[in-house]
Amino acid sequence: MGQFSGVCDRSLVILLFLGLQFPATAARGSRSDALQHGTSGTLPHFLQEPDDAYIIKSNPIKLKCRARPALQIFFKCNGEWVHQSQHQSQEHTDQGTGLKIREVMINVSRQQVEDFHGPEDYWCLCVAWSHLGTSKSRKATLRIAYLRKNFEQDPQGREVPIKGMIVLHCRPPEGVPVAEVEWLKNEEPVGSDGNINTRADHNLIIQKARLSDSGNYTCLASNIVAKRRSLTATVVVFVNGGWSLWTDWSACNVRCGRGVQKRSRTCTNPAPLNGGTFCEGMSVQKSTCNALCPVDGGWGEWTEWTVCSAECARQRRRECTAPEPKHGGRRCDGATLGTDNCTGGLCTQSLEVSSDVALYSGLAAGVVTVVVLIVAVTLYRRNQSEYGVDVIDSSALTGGFQSFSFKTACQGNPLLINSSQQPDLTVSRTYTSPICFQDSMDKELISQEPSLFDPLPDLKVKVHSSFMVSLGVSERGAEYHTQKAHPQTFPRGLAPDYSGVGLEGTLRGRREKTLLGPLAPSTPSRPPLRTAGVFGHAGGRLVVPNTGVSLLVPHGGIAVDTTWEMYMVINQEDSSSSTLSEERQEVLLSPEVTYGPLGLDLSCPVAMTIAHCAEVAADNWSIRLKRQTQDNKWEEVMSVEEESTSCYCLLEAQCCHLLLEHPGRYALVGEPLSQEAVKRLRLAVFGSADNTNPLGYSLRVYCVDDTPYAFQEVASAERVRGGCLLEEPKTLLFRGNSLSLQLSIQDVPQFLWSIKPFTTCQEFSFSQVWASNQHPLQCAFSLERYSPASSQLSCKISVRQVKGQEQILQVYTSVVESEKEVVPFFTQSDCTITSQMGSRAFKIPLSIRQRICATFDTANAKGKDWQLLAQKLCIDRNLCYFARQESPSAVILSLWEAQHQDTGDLDSLASALEEIGKVHSTHSTSSRTSTQTTTRTTATLGRSTEELDAEFT
């Protein structure tokens, strides 16, 4: 380049020398040279300057310059002259002006640009010469064009509600020149409009999402080098479901007495779409209704006999007014008019008259005799009519009919009878009031008690008149016969056996054997909690509300055309002494639950869910399932950690799901294996005013096992005594380290309140807490305010185990009734439904359940499909139990139903089936059929929530 510069300088020197050497010649040709070479006073003017350019791949760049007038044009790049040999020059004359136009071009290679290392980009410019001097062109920048492969930020898929805003971010790869961004939806370009903006810093913004905006979005970046595609982002616009209006209330489902009416609504306003949430709340509402019962008519008392007529007859009447038939009740059976012969048949209507004196004398004597007999009979009958009874067989009253004393229980339990005394069949008693029926099932229970109402099966006792009124029943209703249960309702003639389980709807006072042991004491301190229902082939579910206890009867477990009246009872008696083993130091972890009846015949196991209070996160417990035998002893059924073919146990953090085949009483017990064993305690503080002291206030702190059943007992007792829950209950982890539990009250305002001395700190021993066995522990703090104006109470109650966990119960309440804010005892939304029958009790629709069982119960090349189903549902322990079942898949689904009865998360089941389908698709062609079936089943589970709702209802 320096050599070329010297050459140019020498050329200029030569030109100047020639101009000085030949001045005359220059003068002579000055005019023509000025026109030809531009000596008219103008510098070179560039007609074309070099442009900025990008080197694409290995292709060189051509730079051009064109100037007028110009003796020479040379390129200068990065401050150095380009060699003359690299220039390509052309020269011609402008026809209009006659001036010389010179055009020069050079090539710049990629290697030249890459080899340059300077403070700025590679640049080139042109320098043009004329007689008057030089001119420079603009600088042209040369850069190597490229586009990286990876996006700095890919768009992310999202789910947005309808009319929500969608923002997809995209940062294209680094490139020269800067890449331009274009958005594609389902491989089609997305244009901007009033709702869609694609020019906001490469981002895609949709102001109000529509259903049509769902799709696969791709960010496309491009420059002169290449095009790059981002990862695809899936946008789903969903619609959350909304409830329709309630339908009208249905008619009462019973013709008489207390029944149920309901109304429904559907999740169709709008219906959930694209995974939108289903409507929260109940689709069916139920309400109690009372239908007027038909009242059958009853005969009133007979009137007095009329005077004996000429035909030797007398009459008496009675009216059907005790009671009158109402609401479609039956009228009285029998005659309204009663007739009788006045003389007992001695009177005749025609007498032959004779003049024989002897005949008249004899006739007179006979009349006197008849009159005496009539008077005697009349007196005798009047004496009997005072009792108002006409007994066909007097031995029937003395030897075959016994009456019982009943108490009216119409207000609460429909058949609540005094159970503190057993009936004495040797003493005759009278009914104090009529029996009150409120439920059809209770009527059936009464009608099936032959030992009470028909002691002699073949004997009939007919009662009339005032004796009927004293009993409180009608003449028609006073005839009782033994009624046997329908053979289709209780197979093999078995009536439901509620004895020993304390059912409130049965007649107490019977001395029979219990389901698994002797009858409980006649007056238990805490009556059992129970629920019952009649189940058929469709199965169903029993729930004891607010206790964490439920029973699932699977579909098909009961034979076709057969029904069983099943029940479930939570025992509240203190029977832990026989339940627990002192040698093992066992602790009762759950309530004792009984299900029956005893003769229950099922083709597959039922699923029972029981809540427990053990902290099972660590291996510090040995938990066992126990069952009560017929001799009132408890035997171990299985250990939770072991495998068994007779029972299945799925232990979770809060509850235990059991697959049981034999009815009876069950309980979970635990043996601590170390001092790190932990029981969960639920702590609650209640408050109420002191009835004996107008300025007093009582705080009661309860420590119970952390089960819904244990806390329900506390809440029920406090509701009766008017207590108010002052703070949400808290959970305390109580360790088996033999250390006590201490309770203390703190931060009591000393100038406003005083506390009973020596009660600020109280303590429960370790054995009291550890072996509480579902019984609540209570301590009370008695406070008194100094002035009636002090209406607010604030303090803290500390509950802590020595060298253990501590919980603080914060109390802030008003002691004035009108200012209190009551904290609800329970947060459960529906605590009234105790039984559900048929498809509404199950989360999985019957058609899908049958399809799953048909698919996975059969073997294929990979092995037992139900084993893979159990593995994907995370219940693959103790597979030997499922292997012995007739339909392993059905039992697995029943356990899944029990495990998900609250959430009903069908997505987890659908995901498991989808994973199984993917696994099967990698095997041989023989598994294609089961794969297709699994895929269809998965699609059905996730296709339409409306179909699932229709299946449930």
The alpha carbon dihedral of 631, 632, 635, 640 has a sign of positive
Show the CA angle centred on residue 372, arms to residues 366 and 378, nearest 5°. Answer: 130
In a domain, 428, yes or no: no
Is 225 a residue whose pLDDT tops 60? Answer: yes
Please say which residue of 123, 144, 165 terminates a domain.
144
**What is the per-residue pLDDT for 818?**
57
What is the rounded CA–CA span in Å between residue 474 and residue 297?
A: 8
**What is the per-residue pLDDT for 368?**
86
Is 621 a residue whose pLDDT tops 50? Answer: yes
Please say which residue of 144, 162, 188 terminates a domain.
144
- Give the CA radius of gyration of the chain: 51
Single-letter amino acid code for the residue at 951: E
Q: Quick: pLDDT tens for 478-518.
A: 333 333 333 333 443 343 444 333 333 332 333 333 333 33
Total domains in the fold of the chain = 6
What is the rounded CA–CA span in Å between residue 377 and residue 383?
A: 10
Is 845 a residue whose pLDDT tops 50? Answer: yes
| Chain position carrying tokens 């004899």 | 362
**CB of 273 closer than 8 Å to CB of 296:** no
Q: What percent of the chain is modeled with pLDDT above 70?
A: 71
Q: What is the DSSP string of 872-917?
A: HTT--SSHHHHHTSS-HHHHHHHHHHHHTTTT--HHHHHHHHHHHH
Single-letter amino acid code for the residue at 206: I
With cut-offs at 50, 70 and 90, classify the pLDDT of residue 362: confident
In a domain, 71, yes or no: yes
**CB of 75 closer than 8 Å to CB of 1:** no
Q: Which two structure tokens, joined as six digits, stand for 310?
A: 């000429």
What is the rounded CA–CA span in Å between residue 519 and residue 244?
A: 52
Instruction: Give the residue, 183 or 429, on which the prediction is more confident.
Output: 183
| Chain position carrying tokens 């009319």 | 163
Instruction: Give the residue, 597 or 952, on which the prediction is more confident.
Output: 597
**What is the per-residue pLDDT for 374?**
87
* 87 and 156 housed in the same domain: no
Please, is 39 exposed, middle or buried when counting C-beta atoms within 10 Å of its C-beta (0-12, 13-18, 19+)?
A: middle
State the distance between the two ends of the chain, measured CA to CA, in whole angstroms.
94
With cut-offs at 50, 70 and 90, classify the pLDDT of residue 583: low
**What is the per-residue pLDDT for 840?**
84
Answer left, alpha or beta for residue 550, where phi above 0 means left and psi between -120 and 50 means alpha. beta
| Mean of per-residue pLDDT scores for the chain | 75
Residue 151 belongs to domain with CATH number: 2.60.40.10
In a domain, 384, yes or no: no
Average pLDDT (450-466) is: 35
Q: Kindly list the distances between the CA atom of residue 897 and the CA atoms of 169, 563, 596, 936, in Å, as whole numbers in the listed order.
A: 42, 22, 21, 21
Q: Kindly list the distances between the CA atom of residue 944 and the CA atoms of 276, 277, 844, 921, in Å, as whole numbers in the listed order.
A: 11, 12, 13, 25
Q: How many helices (H) and strands (E) does the chain have?
A: 19, 50
Q: Closest by alpha carbon to 169, among 239, 117, 109, 217? A: 217
Is 614 a residue whose pLDDT tops 80? Answer: yes
* 664 and 683 housed in the same domain: no
**CB of 311 closer than 8 Å to CB of 348:** no
SS3 (DSSP) at 818: helix
Average pLDDT (413-427) is: 35
In a domain, 259, yes or no: yes
Please, is 681 exposed, middle or buried when counting C-beta atoms within 10 Å of its C-beta (0-12, 13-18, 19+)?
A: buried
Residue 630 belongs to domain with CATH number: 2.60.220.30
Q: Which two structure tokens, joined as six digits, stand for 500?
A: 């020993």
In a domain, 391, yes or no: no
What is the rounded CA–CA span in Å between residue 724 and residue 814?
A: 11
What is the rounded CA–CA span in Å between residue 443 and residue 461?
A: 21
Single-letter amino acid code for the residue at 739: L
Q: Closest by alpha carbon to 521, among 650, 419, 648, 368? A: 419
**What is the per-residue pLDDT for 643?**
82
CB atoms within 10 A of CB 950: 12
In a domain, 327, yes or no: no
**What is the per-residue pLDDT for 49?**
93
**CB of 530 closer than 8 Å to CB of 591:** no
Q: At what angle do helices 846-856 and 888-899 cross, to 10 degrees?
A: 130
What is the rounded CA–CA span in Å between residue 209 and residue 165?
A: 6
Is 563 a residue whose pLDDT tops 50? Answer: yes
Q: Quick: pLDDT tens for 288-310.
A: 888 888 888 999 989 988 888 88
Q: Does residue 528 have a cis peptide bond before it, meaning omega lies within 30 degrees of 0? A: no
Helix (H) or strand (E) holding 918: helix 906-921
Single-letter amino acid code for the residue at 885: Q
* 567 and 654 housed in the same domain: yes
* 194 and 180 housed in the same domain: yes
In a domain, 119, yes or no: yes
278: CB partners within 8 A, 6+ apart: 241, 267, 272, 945, 949
Q: Quick: pLDDT tens for 136-154.
A: 999 999 998 999 989 989 9
**What is the per-residue pLDDT for 17?**
35
* 614 and 626 housed in the same domain: yes
Q: Quick: pLDDT tens for 810-842.
A: 999 988 765 555 555 544 434 567 888 888 888
With cut-offs at 50, 70 and 90, classify the pLDDT of residue 866: confident
Half-sphere exposure of 522 (CA within 13 A, CB side): 12
Residue 892 belongs to domain with CATH number: 1.10.533.10
Average pLDDT (784-803) is: 91
With cut-offs at 50, 70 and 90, classify the pLDDT of residue 743: very high
With cut-offs at 50, 70 and 90, classify the pLDDT of residue 219: very high
* 695 and 778 housed in the same domain: yes
**CB of 588 closer than 8 Å to CB of 774:** yes
Strand blocks (E) in 673-719 = 678-689, 696-705
SS3 (DSSP) at 710: helix
Q: Quick: pLDDT tens for 103-137.
A: 999 999 988 888 888 788 899 999 999 888 899 99
- Residue 682 is classified by DSSP as E
In a domain, 87, yes or no: yes
DSSP percent split of the chain into helix, strand, coil, nearest 5: 25, 30, 50
Q: Quick: pLDDT tens for 461-472.
A: 333 333 333 333
Q: Which two structure tokens, joined as six digits, stand for 396?
A: 């029937």
Average pLDDT (602-613) is: 92
* 632 and 558 housed in the same domain: yes
Is 473 a residue whose pLDDT tops 70? Answer: no
* 664 and 772 housed in the same domain: no
Is 684 a residue whose pLDDT tops 90? Answer: yes
**What is the per-residue pLDDT for 830?**
41
Most confident range (mean pLDDT) of 16-30, 71-85, 349-363 is 71-85
717: CB partners within 8 A, 6+ apart: none
Is 600 a residue whose pLDDT tops 70? Answer: yes
* 616 and 541 housed in the same domain: yes
**What is the per-residue pLDDT for 396?**
32
* Alpha helix segments (H runs only) across 463-574: 465-471
Q: Kindly list the distances between the CA atom of residue 297 and the CA atoms of 75, 255, 291, 318, in Å, as whole numbers in the listed order.
A: 128, 18, 18, 12
Is 550 a residue whose pLDDT tops 90? Answer: yes
Is 700 a residue whose pLDDT tops 50? Answer: yes
**What is the per-residue pLDDT for 938?**
55
SS3 (DSSP) at 778: strand
Q: What are phi and psi of 149, to 5 degrees?
A: -85, -40
**What is the per-residue pLDDT for 71?**
87
Show the CA angle centred on residue 874, arms to residues 870 and 879, nearest 5°. Answer: 45
**What is the per-residue pLDDT for 618?**
61
The whole-model pTM stands at 0.47
Is 922 a residue whose pLDDT tops 50? Answer: no
**CB of 665 closer than 8 Å to CB of 627:** yes
SS3 (DSSP) at 611: strand
What is the rounded CA–CA span in Å between residue 740 and residue 712?
A: 25
**CB of 517 closer than 8 Å to CB of 544:** no
* 137 and 162 housed in the same domain: no
Residue 247 belongs to domain with CATH number: 2.20.100.10
Point out the least confidently predicted range of 297-301, 647-651, 909-913.
909-913
What is the rounded CA–CA span in Å between residue 735 and residue 800?
A: 11
Q: What are phi and psi of 130, to 5 degrees?
A: -140, -175
Residue 693 belongs to domain with CATH number: 2.60.40.2660
Please, is 148 exposed, middle or buried when counting C-beta atoms within 10 Å of its C-beta (0-12, 13-18, 19+)?
A: middle
User: Across-strand partners of 200?
Assistant: 203
Q: Quick: pLDDT tens for 16-60.
A: 333 333 333 333 333 344 444 444 458 899 999 999 999 888 889
What is the rounded CA–CA span in Å between residue 557 and residue 584?
A: 37
What is the rounded CA–CA span in Å between residue 435 and residue 448?
A: 15
Half-sphere exposure of 520 (CA within 13 A, CB side): 20
Question: Which range of residues forms the domain containing residue 197?
Answer: 146-238
* 535 and 667 housed in the same domain: yes
* 666 and 534 housed in the same domain: yes
Please say which residue of 81, 115, 144 terminates a domain.
144
